[in-house]
């Protein structure tokens, strides 16, 4: 299967697939015409990476995850540890983002949106220094 088909099946843009090959995250067979040739297993790996990235794993973490995925003999404890660390990180991000939204929402609510120059959004951004 050519890169276009693999792209469609995996959800990764062709450019990204080539990039992942470049950084050694993926490998590719070559057809006689020089085109990359992918198997179903390759597409699975791509989807694995795509999903991991979407879940917030860095490319480096994907590399670890992928080595775990490629070698099923490895202990799942490793994977769990990685996933748990990532989960805590996401929770932190979630809290921060919520705070941020609340602040911004408050600012939007208290702004008239008319032509008066004393806009509370501007005030809030320049002075408030929570935490």
- Cβ(65)–Cβ(57) below 8 Å: yes
23 binds a second copy (CB under 8 A): no
User: By CB under 8 A, is residue 30 in contact with a second copy?
Assistant: no
Q: Which of 15, 44, 58, 60 binds a second copy (CB under 8 A)?
A: 44
In whole angstroms, what is the distance from residue 128 CA to residue 64 CA? Answer: 42
Tell me the three state secondary structure of residue 72: coil
- Which residue, 5 or 95, has its beta carbon nearer to DNA? 5
Give the nearer residue to a second copy in terms of CB position, either 28 or 79.
79
CA pair distance 47, 116, nearest whole angstrom: 52
User: In the chain, which ranges are continuous DSSP H helix?
Assistant: 3-10, 14-22, 40-54, 59-70, 76-110, 120-127
Residue 4: C-alpha distances to residues 7, 8, 27, 113 (Å): 5, 6, 16, 48
Contacting DNA (CB under 7 A), which of 9, 47, 59, 124?
Answer: 59
Among 9, 10, 27, 33, binds DNA (CB under 7 A): 33
Judged by the rule CB under 8 A, the positions of this chain that interact with a second copy are: 44-45, 47-48, 51-52, 54-56, 65, 68-69, 72-77, 79-81, 83-84, 86-87, 90-91, 93-94, 97-98, 100-101, 103-105, 107-108, 111-119, 121-122, 125-129
**Footprint of DNA (CB under 7 A):** 2-5, 7, 13-16, 18-19, 28, 32-36, 53, 58-60
């Amino acid at each position: 299967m050519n890169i276009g088909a693999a792209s469609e099946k995996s959800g990764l843009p062709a450019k990204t697939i080539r990039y992942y090959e470049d950084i050694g995250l993926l490998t590719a067979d070559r057809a006689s015409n020089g085109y990359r040739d992918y198997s179903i297993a390759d597409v699975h790996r791509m989807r694995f990476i795509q999903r991991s990235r979407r879940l917030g794993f860095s490319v480096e973490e994907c590399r670890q995850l992928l080595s775990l995925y490629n070698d099923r003999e490895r202990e799942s404890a490793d994977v769990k540890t990685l996933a748990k660390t990532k989960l805590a990180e996401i929770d932190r991000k979630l809290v921060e983002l919520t705070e941020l939204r609340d602040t911004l929402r408050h600012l939007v609510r208290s702004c008239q949106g008319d032509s008066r120059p004393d806009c509370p959004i501007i005030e809030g951004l320049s002075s408030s220094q929570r935490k």
